[in-house]
Structure 1
């Protein structure tokens, strides 16, 4: 049935393997078997995968199409609103007219379906039902179903269903349309425009309904007259179809009759009665070899299943009751062998057939004893024969739990002198639950024993069958590590100069030491420690530790705070220092430039100079304050002439004073005889060499003559002085 789109066909179907092919430009594309095709109100054709509700456009349908369906010949067809049937070319969206249901349409046609015999069915808003046989080119008006067809038609379990107005799904009586009835009252949002039966397998058909708005998809539950929400897609659906939708119109019905069977001769007969399906039916007893004849004869007693297959590969099976009182196993009890011994058993009880029964195991002698004892582990082929010769065969497997065996024994000695030993036993085999008892104590269901003291141990193991074994173990003792003493020297002067020495013994060498229990080293003495809380700890090579809590105290050193200085006037010792201080231990001492002073502020009578003041306490802690007493109010001098000839003598005209004058040149201006600037210096330290005029203006040499100057100086104590005068420039 494989057909090529390069001719007139759009789809190719391989029914037995249930693979669909959608073909464009002679290039086949394999599709999933779980696909439905949907037409939309804008005449597009989409392929929907029911597995995850994804979709993609695969073509178009003719303008005016209201519904689509597939025919058993694999072509896609559509019906228009005016009752015209088209074979669809999905690549171009055009159609070839096949049939007109009415020359003058009496209704808007909205639905289309085809059955397994290739007959089309359509209905519309006036409920008028028509059929068209493609093979005979015969169209027939079947009658009025009494309901408006607002959507699709589909077949399900041999019955035609229609999506009607009011969200109803109507069961259509093809032979007498007037007897059609409502099967499902959906009452869902939107209008049901599509109803499609999807054949997952030949004998497993499901129906799905699609609404026009945002395509809500529902699974139709005919048994419970309900619509079950499935998923939704953003499409405005007008109709739907699946490749094998027509399979729902004509399911295969099978019945079988058996006669003449007995256990002494192979003369049984099975006759099969079947109907439905597509095309010629064939019959088989093994699902492999089929024949046209529906009868099978010359059959011995046994288990039989009949298989019926139609021409598209749909297969229906049915188990056959032979009507023979055949012996059957009512109960089969197998007891496993245990503890590694041959002590398994098989016990049977038989129902049916004719007593007495004989039992044979693995081809051995037959016996009326149905209880086999002392069996080794293994597989046993059991043959049962009743008094009239009917046979029954089965297989029984005698397993073994085996005797428990220790596959692993882990013994961990104690450590750090504590009762923390451990024994872990691993057992293989045996029948659960397995109990473990250590030194006659309480049983437990695991082989993990923890927090054990040093000593000798016996472990007894017993499984549910009573199989037992024992094992011994020795847990060794260990020596603890001891922290004997911690010697501390406190810190002083606010510095990290404390020390700590840890003394320890015992444990497993080498020992390591720490002041915080975190960072360890081999040295037991620690220096450079600040005041604070410490956790001196010793740790041996096995990781055992011992710790104490210790504190290192410290002292607050003497410290200078804020200070101020009073400048000394020129050539006077009248400067002063005021300073705040705090801290220190015991009596404090004060020295100024190496000379002892009384601890009293302010310190007065200081000449302008650099000073170093030391503040000490009783344990030698010291703080230093370096300060300067500046000089102020010294007289300022300016020469009345200068010669800028670069001979190193009087080359610059500048203000002069005694050394180290703490002052600021606010303004120093030099003017020519017309009042123009020849030199300017502003906001510079008095000692700045840039305060001097070099006899040039803008880099050019000024001429010999008299120049006028103005000077303003600010002293460090806030006082100011202004001066002016003349100077002679000599060349």
Structure 2
């Protein structure tokens, strides 16, 4: 292995003289500390792993302590230039605003080494060291995977001999940015970290100031310059495939298992196993990749467990035991809806073909059958609404089940064997039936209330004189069906609402509808009223005919004369009687006045008759007394 240290003003410009790859920056990392992947740059901040995720590079001191960030012209943390000031480069030297330093102090002859660590090993490293002044040294160590030194070199600053300044290595001096760099001649990246160290050989303080760091790896890069394509053996096939295709303009050649190199590599049929692919670039750099062709097991249904539906519902289950397959396994029992769970629930009765599908599209199938079942079924409902303003509604359930044992429950109440529910108030009800297997079925019912049964009115008519032909008519609202009527206390009923042929008196009418709801109403047939008559002439001559002036009515009608008054033409009261039976002739005027026969002529009468119904009839007029 031939190692070189290059002290150059521009490392990249001289790479062609060293036989480097013409486009070696393809996989290079450049850090100038003017930006940071996350956060904001601040003077004297810790620099540790901020560049790791993006660039694969981290910085540290001995013991894993973070390095520090220095700001140009800020308080001294790296160097003191006699001509330019603290942490300030010489005129014309542009290093931006920030650079990397060790521990942030300039004290003692030795600086704390800075370690640059790579996630992926590199082939070349370059950068610049600031202010390599009088009597100072800068040492670079390239370290291998296990921390072993695989390369070392030192940059010397100017040295003094007998008081005369004699130039040392090129590019060193006060405030300058001395370029340094090296590259391993071999193609394989083997630098896992770089140790950057410095010290003074004369009195004073020394600190490291680093900037413009570049790290590169040469050779063809997988997925950048070329791509390896492989296909495993899937779905029970017999072979896989391997191919390589270029992604860049490099002239790459490829070899499979040590065979001949070719600019194209395509093996469409390869058996299961491990294959070695060698990639060589124009410089002869080779990278070897092991490719494994695997035989991916196909998904295989080992068992199918199906359970029948229960309770007459669509609640069967199908459970699959599947082995093999690649990635996520999907299942379907209807050929349309795929799920990632191998247990299907709420499956309707029927015959099914089950398919399983893995992430590669490989399929296996099996059959399953979910048998139907007979759950309890409500086949009829008879209900009676509440009537008579009572809680007397009824519900009767007709049901069948696979077993003769059926229970019934009302509104989640106690279970009973009787299918009848009685004495129900109006409202909504849930009836549940349950068979011997515990299967249930619900139905919702509403017990209504029949129209309220009530009397609308009662009409009575009085009988005719001395007749028992009075009537009572009863009208009602509500009720159910035909209504019957009774006037004898419920002993007998009729469908007519009219009772006729009634004698005067008090009666009690009972109404009853088809539900047995009863109403009772009192009615009174008023007494009959017979007509009364008064003559207009009488002759009190002791011949036994028309001897007095009577009020005449039916012989059996017991009316009462409440007031009986006779006046002459000048208004003088001639005769007066009261409160006597209409049939008592002894109270009527016999034509006498003050013990002797009154003067023949016209007289005026005023009579009040009291009838059986309590009414008073007023009679008035004139009567002529003759001889």
Relative contact order (C-alpha < 8 Å, sep 6+): which is higher?
2
Greater C-alpha radius of gyration: 2
Question: TM tier, shorter chain?
Answer: 0.3 to 0.5
TM-score, with normalisation over the residues of structure 1? 0.35
TM-score, with normalisation over the residues of structure 2? 0.40
